[in-house]
């Protein structure tokens, strides 16, 4: 069964990633064995209401979560003007690697199994980063992601990977199918019927949360729940 969701730790943190310090929100439920690190998509942040909703759902399922801003405040200002840094997958992956190392050294999280939840371009960063810390990253979930942008890193991914796409997000479905074929690990593509790219339709984000919890609980040391209910392709 899922944990009761009682949170013993919830705080703002500063995550060291290389030469920069990134702001983050850490929540750790009681008796958890896994933590999910979020990689937001282009133009988004750790305050994204969609990722925060998914994170809250994962907390209720007994999973810890860390939401961080992948860019510094100054980098965000530059990116607002140019839009370039949000598509710098290797830069974003490097920030995730730094956050992974931070989790492995933190007293509240050092013994937890790590998973990545990536949205949009953040999915490519998550998949890329997972190849740089294969011993640490145990699972990846992509929501409306662009895993194709991980390019040559895709065949090197070692973490079990779940790709979630909206049923009406036709171009992204094709990109995910192509990426799925290049992954050489345990993998699944789940399609949420009637959902568009941002999963704004009633019940769509709840379906994403259920699927993500199902995948992470399977691979981060928690008891295995019932299978996700969205259709698979």
The per-residue pLDDT for range 123-168, each reduced to its tens digit, is: 999 999 999 999 999 999 999 999 999 999 999 999 999 999 999 9
Is the pLDDT at 50 greater than 90, yes or no? no
Domain 7-219: give its CATH architecture. 3-Layer(aba) Sandwich (3.40)
Q: What is the pLDDT of residue 43?
A: 57
The residues with which 119 forms a beta bridge, in sequence order, are 143
Cα separation, 32 vs 30, in Å, equals 6
Amino acid 79: pLDDT: 65
Mean pLDDT, to the nearest integer, of 51-80? Answer: 88
Window from 25-34, 38-47, 56-65, 199-208 with minimum mean pLDDT: 38-47
Average pLDDT in the chain: 88
The residue-averaged pLDDT of 82-86 equals: 67
pLDDT exceeds cutoff 60 at 51: yes
Instruction: Of 26, 24, 32, 25, give the one whose Cα is nearest residue 6.
Output: 32
Percent of the chain at pLDDT exceeding 90: 71
**pTM confidence score:** 0.90
Q: Mean pLDDT throughout 166-187?
A: 97
């Amino acid at each position: 069964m899922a944990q009761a969701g009682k949170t013993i730790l919830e705080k703002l943190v500063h995550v060291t990633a290389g030469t920069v310090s990134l702001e983050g929100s850490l929540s750790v439920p009681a008796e958890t064995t896994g933590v999910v690190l979020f990689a937001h998509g282009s133009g988004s942040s750790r305050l994204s209401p969609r990722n925060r909703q998914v994170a809250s759902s994962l907390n209720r399922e007994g999973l810890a979560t860390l939401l961080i801003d992948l860019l510094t405040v100054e980098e965000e200002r530059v990116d607002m003007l140019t839009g370039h840094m949000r598509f710098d997958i290797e830069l974003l992956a490097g920030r995730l690697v730094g956050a992974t190392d931070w989790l492995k050294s933190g007293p509240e999280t050092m013994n937890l199994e790590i998973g990545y939840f990536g949205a949009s371009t953040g999915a490519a960063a998550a998949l890329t980063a997972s190849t740089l810390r294969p011993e640490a990253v145990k699972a990846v979930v992509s929501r409306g992601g662009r895993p194709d942008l991980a390019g040559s890193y895709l065949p090197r991914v070692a973490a079990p990977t779940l790709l979630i796409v909206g049923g009406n997000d036709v171009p992204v479905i094709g990109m995910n199918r192509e990426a799925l074929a290049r992954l050489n690990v345990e993998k699944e593509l789940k399609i949420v019927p009637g959902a568009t790219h941002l999963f704004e339709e009633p019940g769509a984000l709840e379906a994403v949360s259920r699927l993500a919890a199902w995948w992470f609980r399977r691979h981060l040391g928690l008891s295995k729940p019932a299978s996700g209910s969205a259709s698979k392709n």
